[in-house]
Amino acid sequence: MRCFIHQDRDAIGLCKACAKGLCPDCAVDLGHGLACKGIHEDTVAMYSAIINKNARVYSASGKSWAVVPAFFTLTGIGFVVFGTFAPDRLQWFLFAFGGLFFAFGLFCGYYNYRAFAQRS
């Protein structure tokens, strides 16, 4: 492959932003990829920042698998506890609702945990 700007020179790599061939004079090595000197330096730096951020979010989400299930389970318990103090007319409704939340929380927790355990 040839440099996009200097057709007589061999390219040493591709710009990460526009995928054009670059010779040593045209390329800037940003440590995590090459960029067109003075053209795509900022763009490639930004791409890398976004990718790094996503990687961090992904690894953080591995620890938060229990947050949503815990929320539903606790809300379900809250409904049932609240139901025991509620008037009879409301009680069945709160018990049913709390039971649904509780069951969904357990199911969600089991499902998330399995996905989490498989990934790590």
Site for Zn ion, rule CB under 5 A: 3, 5-6, 15, 17-18, 23, 25-26, 36, 40
Cα separation, 93 vs 48, in Å, equals 51
Angle CA 56–14–26, to nearest 5: 115
Report, in Å, the least distance between residue 115 CB and Zn ion: 38
> Which one, 7 or 59, has the nearer CB to Zn ion?
7
| Nearest position to Zn ion, beta carbon | 15
Helix (H) or strand (E) holding 29: strand 27-29
Q: In terms of CB distance, is 13 or 78 closer to Zn ion?
A: 13
